[in-house]
Structure 1
Amino acid sequence: MAAPGDPRRLYRLVQEGRLCALREELRGAGPAGCPGPSGDTLLHCAARHGHRDVLAYLVETWDMDIEAANRDYKRPLHEAASQGHRDCVRYLLDRGAVVDCLKKADWTPLMMACTRKNLEVIQDLVEHGANPLLKNKDGWNSLHIASREGDPLTLQYLLTVCPAACKTESKIGRTPLHTAAMHGCLDAVKVLLQRCQYEADCADRCGCTPFMDAVQCGHIDVARLLLEQHKACWAARDALGAQAIHRAAVTGQDEALRFLVSELGADVDARAAPSRLAPLHFAAKPCTWPAPASTQPVSSSSCGPG
């Protein structure tokens, strides 16, 4: 059994929200400043698990620092925002937490909130001054991140409070429309095309269009929308001379290949220029292009297979 004041016991009590037991434990243990895993404080743990009463007790009784950062520079506000614990977010903001504090890779609490369908939390952060235009180390702002999650209500809200958010590109020139298309977020694609007036064939620095992203990740519904309602060019080429059919081949998207060949008339022997590689060559190569939408997206500088 853990001794009184043992950090592991303290963190377990906080995680479980056992405020009365925690009070008893801390009366004999002294100030609760012991760091936990990853340099977390008890405040990080309380915020992560949504225990507002424990959070308030630690702040108001033990004067714990609401701006304490762990080894990834996360503050308790990052934890509460990322998990959608609105009562904890509002408590921390009311106590004066810095709303745009940065964790590792320059992520703000608003960006963390945008990784989930957390509209109320997002609204609270923005109303306390969070800036949707701030970018992380990859050049993503909150709209990029919300586009990956694909919640149209969140996108509509961000674009209403900050219309300039859509005028953004990542460090390799990718727009929120690219992100939504890659992740198959059909409703998000519709909102972005309506509200941001993106060109359907806008290309990143690798020459990749949203249509290519949709096809290479198997999102035929998104590809159809871009093609039929926004006149996307299915035959466009990227910086390596590859077309959508090459990209679908390299990621093994059988349904997308049938769509391109049977419905659009794409040439199964189309050659990428200047390599002269056919889709079959791409299908046989190990995939080094961006992974399908089930994985976390990254802002890679790679433009194609190695």
Structure 2
Amino acid sequence: MDEDRLKVLVKLTQDGQFNCVENNMKTYGLMEAARDKHFGSSGDTLVHYAARHGHLDILDYLLKEVGTNVEVYNNDYKRPLHEAASMSHLACVSYLLQMGAMVDSLKKADWTPLMMACTRRNLSVIRELMDYSADPFLKNKDGWNAFHIACREGDPLVVAHLLDVAPDVWKTKSKTGRTPLHTAAMHGCEEVANILLERCRYASDDKDSCGITPFMDAVRNGHISLAKLLLEKHQASPTAVDTIGVQPVHQVAVTGQEGALCFLVRELQVDVNQRATGLEFTALHYAAKEGHASTIKTLLDLGADLQARDKKGRTALHMASIGQHAEAAKTLLRFGLEDYPDASGITARALARKTDVLQVFDCS
């Protein structure tokens, strides 16, 4: 019976019904049972629920009257402070800190409350944590610090504040070698990228462990204005290569960013038929392999060589068949690409396995 009544307390706590929580505790003598009770697969306590939903009165009651420890943790090692910070509940954050919560406690994957706060655009919570000496230089298991996370979320006020308080916090890389500038570029956070370029000293075309530059991140995700910012303020190269010899023109073909393709070829005069090292794919090969029929049309309009062959003598039609992309194969055939065998004598049709792809060749 107590188990059922405790479950009722969870709902009452989530809903913020303080009087009902208090009455149920006293009426059924649940204070001792509820003090350290962990619920469900998450292992949350009532304090976690109160902090997550921002119910300060219930939080105060649970800590002071019921006697739950302010550092109680769930199965992910999240403390109440993690919950309050992640949901931007300033009053709860302030209260927990006043009650002695450890400001830099770690949950699973080594996330601090400050990191959790930086996933939200709430400068007040971040200020409060840093007023209690939260360390913005700590890194999680992926090598990201709070500044890196803030740059992903894209709030310029948060990013500027972190730089004001900790001017060297930008000097960080993830375990895969990615800088906050990479992250801002990938997510199209142009205002943040502008702050980083003005206030930080990132090297032009700094590469992560895969050889990706911030400019590559910007264009392959379709953030053209941010890419222009990197060209103008950071002297980014539109033809840099990653670790496998792929250039931005190839990357945008993979992601099907046709606006970025036009920007690279028409405005920056990048060679649309530039080959990646290794297998010597062109952008057309990559677009066909991914099945981007519309991107294939755009590439051909930009002057892509329909007959281009890779190192193994394969055309874009072979790539479309390897990927089992019927529409891409149909588009290439419609534009006049014939099913020539590759260097090993294998035709694109021979690589087709799906019925709809085979029908494309049979009807051509």
Distance 2:290 2:68 in 1: 51
**Aligned length in residues:** 286
**Of 221, 224, 228, which residue of structure 2 is paired with 1:224?**
228
1:96 and 2:100 are equivalent in the alignment: yes
SS class of match (2:115): helix
Distance 2:122 2:29 in 1: 37
Letter in 2 for 1:188: V
Distance 1:252 1:29 in 2: 62
Letter in 1 for 2:271: D
1:212 and 2:210 are equivalent in the alignment: no
Pick the structure with greater CA Rg. Answer: 2
Distance 1:274 1:250 in 2: 16
Q: TM-score, normalised by structure 2?
A: 0.76
Deviations 1:121-179 (A, max 9, x none): 11111110110000000100011000000111111111111112111111111100000
Matches within 5 A, 1:39-188: 39-188=43-192
Q: Which residue is equivalent to 2:37?
A: 34
Q: Which residue is equivalent to 1:265?
A: 269
Contact 2:205/2:236 (8 A) holds in 1: yes
Deviations 1:81-121 (A, max 9, x none): 00000000000000000111111110000000000101111
Letter in 2 for 1:34: K
Letter in 2 for 1:281: H
Contact 1:236/1:243 (8 A) holds in 2: yes
Q: Which residue is equivalent to 1:244?
A: 248
- Specify which structure has the bigger relative contact order, considering alpha-carbon pairs within 8 angstroms and separated by 6 or more residues: 1
Letter in 2 for 1:247: Q
Q: Percent identity?
A: 55
Q: Aligned-pair distance for 1:228?
A: 2.2
Contact 1:99/1:109 (8 A) holds in 2: yes
Contact 1:216/1:247 (8 A) holds in 2: yes
Give structure 1 stretches of 5+ with no counterpart: 288-306
Distance 2:61 2:273 in 1: 68
Deviations 1:27-50 (A, max 9, x none): 114221321230000000000000
Distance 1:16 1:255 in 2: 47
Deviations 1:207-254 (A, max 9, x none): 111000000111111001111232211011111111111111111111
Letter in 2 for 1:103: K
Deviations 1:186-224 (A, max 9, x none): 000001111112123111121111000000111111001
Give structure 2 stretches of 5+ with no counterpart: 292-364
Contact 2:197/2:233 (8 A) holds in 1: no
Q: Which residue is equivalent to 2:335?
A: none
Contact 2:185/2:226 (8 A) holds in 1: yes
Distance 1:197 1:129 in 2: 26
Deviations 1:45-91 (A, max 9, x none): 00000001110000000110111111111111000000000000000
Q: Which residue is equivalent to 1:299?
A: none
Q: Aligned-pair distance for 1:286?
A: 4.7
Contact 1:140/1:170 (8 A) holds in 2: yes
SS class of match (1:258): helix
Q: Aligned-pair distance for 1:5?
A: 5.7
CA RMSD of aligned residues (A): 1.5
Q: Aligned-pair distance for 1:3?
A: 7.5
